[in-house]
Amino acid sequence: MKKPVPIFEGDVVDRKLVIQDHVRKAMARWVSTFKTGTHLDIVIRKHKTKRSLEQNAYYWSVVIPILADYFGHDNPESMHEDLKLEFNPVESKIVPGKMIGGSTTKLSTEEFYCGETSYIERICRWASMEHGVYIPPPTKAE
């Protein structure tokens, strides 16, 4: 069985890596599960914050219902699938060359809804410009 891969966080302060004590202890516990002499990979990358619950709620309770109603979708999931194909396409691993809707669950907060090139912003702009459908921003949505 494949062992889960933990992700430990730290911060760069004055160009040095700072790791909190509780994180150091968790790392030590994890390392102790390996046999002596085991070679480990250590990867350092910029932290990517997953989309927030508020962003997710806005998408599913405002964006999806408005567009599903406009396009005549019977359920929110089918509208979501259409939007993923249009705004987050990826190549199928089963049928090379075929595009499918990519997962949105791994998008960061910025990729999902912050800025002009975010997933939701592109959807809202497309709905307005191509179809005349107004989707209220989160602050104006109930």
What pLDDT sits at residue 1?
64
Per run of 10 residues, the mean pLDDT along the chain (length 142 residues) is: 77 92 89 92 80 88 96 96 95 93 88 87 96 86 47
Is 83:101 a contact under the CB 8 Å cutoff? yes
The token duo for 26 is 């968790």
Number of residues assigned to the chain = 142
What pLDDT sits at residue 46?
81
What pLDDT sits at residue 71?
97
What pLDDT sits at residue 141?
46
Q: Alpha carbon 31 to chain centroid distance?
A: 29
Where do the H-state alpha helices sit in 14-108? Answer: 21-31, 53-58, 64-71, 76-87
What pLDDT sits at residue 64?
97
Is 102:84 a contact under the CB 8 Å cutoff? yes
